[in-house]
Structure 1
Amino acid sequence: MGTEQIRRWESGALAHAVTDPFGQGPLPWLRCGEHYFDDTGHVVPWYLDHSSLDGARAPSGAGGGPRAADDVHCQIKGFTSESAVSPGESVDFRITVNPPQPFGVDVYRIGHYGGEGATKITTSPRLSGIVQPPPLTADRTVSCHHWWLSWRLQIPDYWSTGAHVAVLTTADGHRSHIPFTVRDERPGDLLLVLPDVTWQAYNLFPEDGRTGASLYHAWDGEGRLLGEEEAAVTVSFDRPYAGAGLPLHVGHAYDFIRWAERYGYDLAYADTRDLHAGRVDPSRYRGLVFAGHDEYWSAPMRRAVEKARDSGTSLVFLSANTMYWQVELGPSPSGAPDRLMTCRKRRGPGRSRRWRDQGEPEQQVLGVQYAGQVPRPHPMVARNTSHWLWEATGVAEGEELPGLVAGEADRYFPRAALPPHTDRVLLAHSPYRDASGARRHQETSLYEAPSGALVFASGTFAWSPALDRPGHTDSRIQRATANLLDRICKHP
């Protein structure tokens, strides 16, 4: 297969970049020491397709560096048996290496770490790589549950919980990644819930022009990308992520983590399937934070969050298009629970699986709900700036915050029921133009439930990147977020 075709499928964001201006390909989650010189002497970051970049000339004598594995050749690709584990438990890695050769795994923890964004916490022994069997497919569902175990990592009790990335590197310099979470079982101020269910919905592995399928896309026999009507109905967690191995929207969560840990917030960690399975008790926390794009929710996930809110736990949604699709989780063919996700969307008779079409609009939890895509960034227009959320931000009534409405947007729907509340305010009302040129608007919402819980919804993809994404940070959004979390955590 030609280089141009391989490059076409390399990014992991081919089909979705229009919906997320911050998520075009794997993000530079590690900010130091991860640039290399390619064979032509150009400086390249490891997370991009180096053959398509223009860079500065390297000094003479510079050597080659790691190259991103692709889904066509699968030089090295892998996944974990569980996306979240507790200290004292183990993580099983299932990895394919083509051609067979030794490889190693470096494990990083995401955090601030003096601005570096992550720190290396362990390295595997030298491992023997094999070519695993081809993925199994059935009705567009792609699964690698039959792959052999490659490495088992025992999580020590003394490890810090948090978001982790395993970096896989072959002896000949190909590299890929596997995200996983070491979850908390202790009470704390804030529980960060990582959206692994939504990450998998967008996963098109393998992006080889033949086999891969997500809940959005699949391939035809000519290597053309098909749309939602021909996409998978069920996707498996037993497979690598496409491209360089990081989920499409992973950067939103990492932006929040770096910022929150920099300022010392007490963060516990879990993923959305922990909510689904009841492995974490949301009522043990002052607040739940959903920092990333979190579009796909099962009924148990929603019920757990509603119960937590009604018992006094605050909810913080820092993205848009949250809780849009209702999904079901089921066991893999091997019997492992919650390894298959099904969302029927608009196919067949009956209503679609949107929550609002099932009689439970997401606005009943969020206070606003999904309105549509934002083709290019627009300003966020601040409203009610005398409210405590805008305190010390310097934001004036009607002031425009450039680029803060982007990707996708939420707004208040007057015909949809609101959640029970004792107080409610809209903190932004921002006009924008959709793809057809029609005038739309975005809104940021905050309400107080009868239990005293605060529920905040940013209504835009751009909020988390404004916290700690190079080129996107906004000190006013940083201060407003601190005002919100300090009140939830009852900090002075």
Structure 2
Amino acid sequence: MGAERGKGRWESGAVAHAATDPFGQGPLPWLRASETYFDDTGRVVPWYVEHAPAPGAELRMPRPRREEGSPRSSDDVHQQIKGFTSTGAVAPGESIDFHVTVNPPQSYSMDFYRIGHYAGAGASKIASTPRLQGLTQPEPLLADRTVSCHHWWRTWRQLIPSYWKPGAYVAVLTTYDGHRSHIPFTVRDSEPADLLLLLPDVTWQAYNLYPEDGRTGASLYHAWDDKGGLLGEEDAAITVSFDRPFAGAGLPLHVGHAYDFIRWAERYGYDLAYADARDLHAGRVDPTRYRGLVFPGHDEYWSVPMRRTTERAKEAGTSLVFLSANTMYWQVELSASPSGVPDRLLTCRKRRGPGRATLWREVDRPEQELMGIQYAGRVPAPAPLVVRHAEHWLWEATGAHEGDELPGLVAGEADRYFPRTQLPPYEDRMLLAHSPYEDQGAVRHQETSLYRAPSGALVFASGTFAWSPALDRPGHVDTRIQRATANLLDRICKRD
């Protein structure tokens, strides 16, 4: 961002939660390499490793001189290079269109990486474009608080060859003068697999504050006042567009949760198919084809079709695995862009204006009726996850004992069981963690839930943001969580 205006991207994300979230902050938690760059506070940090500032650290520093040849992150003020795709997930054999702006106009390259374990690297370069000539696209369009770049020219069309494996991908854009940005996209599966991983692109867009320029950007949480200050939800957008880049370096807030799970699962050979939340919404995937659906990261915004399809999958015997907290909290609508492309606008009125309530629990469809627990609140500082029912098969061979405290495993946000809220039908049910934490002087509790539906489907909800990072995030790995997750997935996949 520009030096004096507004807040850094990770800071605005923390403000969105009104809490310190050690798992949603930092630059780019995906490819682990030794290369360094200058982030938007002017610090030299590893280019692809998550780096959250220490509590109380200075947020804005003078930008040091860049080392020769090292890249710098593009920002939303100067728009050195930014871009987005005009479609959601694509299948092998299809094409995906990229819309890129470069300022000043100059050549740039696009390198395509696939997220995975790859001997610990975290991703592998799959392909590169030839050198492309960049152009400066028109200013984003603004209607009320909705920012859209649907009028940008297409600058590159990428055919997805049949030999590209389905998965989570990142296009890395680098200008001739050394600025860099990113565009995430998904290559969707058409082949059978044990588990279908659903990337939370709807929630990612809800948090997208692009352009984070102190003037025009808006998310479902924030907008800017006329002095470049960050406004809250009451002044934020009601509708946001997928036709725009992600703020900052171009990757969504909380994207690392999904990437942590992917690296771990592919390391241990789980048979994964891939899709986006909008694929679930639009019916482009049939969840009943899979033994389990995995929701690997923060997945807060759900449409009616998303929930209906997931419930039908459970009733058909497909297990559900929710590896974060605050899932399915807001009910949203998806609609077409001004040019008629389906599912390019995301609307959530929250508690403003006429119309029905948009919290699922306020329309008599609480999250707990599907997941077994539901959102309880923010966690101001990480707290231990306290093991319950250590004799249960989920904790088998983990080394965890009754009452053990797993440090830092309750963080960001937490779910719990609400006794006065309807539970789903179940054959057996267990709360496998009951963890106290403090919030504004009060003691609250996080809980982890597992139940078996009458169809035989297992439904697991971790109830904390920290579960996926514990699988493969440097500095956060917990071998007990790794083994518990393997116990769960092995049972779902019916591994010996």
| TM-score category (smaller protein) | over 0.9
- Between the aligned residues of both structures, percent identity stands at 74
- Tell me, yes or no, if structure 1 residue 289 matches structure 2 residue 289: no
Preserved CA contact (<8 Å) 1:255 1:465: yes
Distance in structure 1 (CA, Å) of the matches to 2:10 and 2:329: 28
CA RMSD after TM alignment? 2.3
Distance in structure 2 (CA, Å) of the matches to 1:37 and 1:302: 41
Distance in structure 1 (CA, Å) of the matches to 2:307 and 2:293: 13
Which residue is equivalent to 1:378?
A: 383
Which residue is equivalent to 2:13?
A: 13
- Tell me, yes or no, if structure 1 residue 25 matches structure 2 residue 29: no
Distance in structure 1 (CA, Å) of the matches to 2:255 and 2:430: 30
Q: Which runs of 5+ in 2 are unaligned?
A: 54-58
Which residue is equivalent to 1:163?
A: 168
1:141 CA displacement: 0.4
Equivalent residue runs for 1:32-43 within 5 Å: 32-35=33-36
Q: Which amino acid aligns with 1:401?
A: L
1:321 CA displacement: 0.3
Distance in structure 1 (CA, Å) of the matches to 2:267 and 2:438: 36
Deviations 1:404-447 (A, max 9, x none): 0000000001111000100000000001111x111110000000
1:81 CA displacement: 1.1
Which residue is equivalent to 1:260?
A: 265
Preserved CA contact (<8 Å) 2:21 2:412: yes
Q: Residues 431 and 6 from structure 1, CA distance in 2 versus in 1: closer, same or farther, beyond 3 angstroms?
A: closer
1:187 CA displacement: 1.6
Preserved CA contact (<8 Å) 1:13 1:25: no
1:19 CA displacement: 5.4
Bigger mean CA offset, 135-144 vs 6-15: 6-15
Distance in structure 2 (CA, Å) of the matches to 1:349 and 1:420: 34
Q: Alignment partner for residue 456 of structure 1, among 449, 454, 460?
A: 460
1:158 CA displacement: 1.2
**SS of aligned partner of 2:22:** coil
Q: Which amino acid aligns with 2:113?
A: Y
Q: How many residues align?
A: 486
Preserved CA contact (<8 Å) 2:13 2:207: no
- Tell me, yes or no, if structure 1 residue 487 matches structure 2 residue 488: no
Distance in structure 2 (CA, Å) of the matches to 1:259 and 1:446: 21
- Provide the TM-score with structure 2 as the length reference: 0.94
Distance in structure 2 (CA, Å) of the matches to 1:212 and 1:6: 11
- Tell me, yes or no, if structure 1 residue 427 matches structure 2 residue 432: yes
Which residue is equivalent to 1:472?
A: 476
Which residue is equivalent to 1:346?
A: 351
Distance in structure 2 (CA, Å) of the matches to 1:484 and 1:393: 12
Preserved CA contact (<8 Å) 1:11 1:244: no
- Tell me, yes or no, if structure 1 residue 177 matches structure 2 residue 175: no
- Provide the TM-score with structure 1 as the length reference: 0.95
Distance in structure 1 (CA, Å) of the matches to 2:10 and 2:344: 25
Deviations 1:242-286 (A, max 9, x none): 000000010000000000000000010000000000000000000
1:52 CA displacement: 6.2
Distance in structure 2 (CA, Å) of the matches to 1:229 and 1:53: 31
Distance in structure 2 (CA, Å) of the matches to 1:464 and 1:89: 31
Which residue is equivalent to 2:399?
A: 394
Distance in structure 1 (CA, Å) of the matches to 2:203 and 2:143: 21
Which residue is equivalent to 2:85?
A: 80
**SS of aligned partner of 1:84:** coil
Bigger mean CA offset, 4-13 vs 323-332: 4-13
Preserved CA contact (<8 Å) 1:370 1:409: yes
- Tell me, yes or no, if structure 1 residue 273 matches structure 2 residue 274: no
Q: Alignment partner for residue 366 of structure 1, among 364, 368, 371?
A: 371
Equivalent residue runs for 1:52-451 within 5 Å: 63-349=68-354, 352-434=357-439, 436-451=440-455
Distance in structure 1 (CA, Å) of the matches to 2:334 and 2:146: 14
Q: Residues 264 and 97 from structure 1, CA distance in 2 versus in 1: closer, same or farther, beyond 3 angstroms?
A: same
**SS of aligned partner of 1:259:** helix
Preserved CA contact (<8 Å) 1:430 1:443: yes
**SS of aligned partner of 2:291:** strand
Distance in structure 2 (CA, Å) of the matches to 1:153 and 1:66: 24
Bigger mean CA offset, 183-192 vs 109-118: 183-192
